[in-house]
Amino acid sequence: MRRFLSSVKCAAIGIAMAVRKERNMRIHLVAASAVVLLALWLGLKPVEWAVLLALCGLVIGLELVNTAVERVVDLVSPDRHPLAKAAKDAAAGGVLAAAAFAAAVGMLLLGPPLWDKLRELFG
């Protein structure tokens, strides 16, 4: 049990570091918070919640992996190198792809009920 708790503590430290030092992590957290608030307001179904939360978790998780890749590349290759750039760009591309697909799914799930709610409010 101690090893598990130690692992959880290390993971929490890693997440906190990324939130403090990575602007994109903060952007993803703000976006995820906005999605959650909007979904609460719209009263989404459990399956829709599951999809939205899974995608938010995926994007945030990939941002953490991207941060790790950037740190390791900087450690092993402090000078500019084309392979270091390629590794960093690929990791960032993974986050971008996940975020783009998450945004598309978010529009599909949130768009119609939001439109209905706005039409109801503003006639």
pLDDT tens, position by position, 19-33: 999 999 999 999 999
If pLDDT is split at 50, 70 and 90, which confidence band does 123 have? confident
pLDDT at position 51 over 90? yes
Q: Note if 63 is an active site residue.
A: yes
Ramachandran quadrant class, 43 (left: phi over 0; alpha: psi -120 to 50; beta: rest): left
Annotated catalytic residue within 22, 48, 63, 70: 63
Q: How far is CA 43 from CA 32, 67, 101, 112, 120, in A?
A: 16, 34, 22, 12, 15
Instruction: Give the C-alpha distances (Å, rounded to integers) separating 37 from 41, 53, 63, 94.
Output: 6, 12, 21, 26
- At 68-117, the pLDDT tens digits run 999 999 999 999 999 999 999 999 999 999 999 999 999 999 999 999 99
pTM greater than 0.75 (yes/no): yes
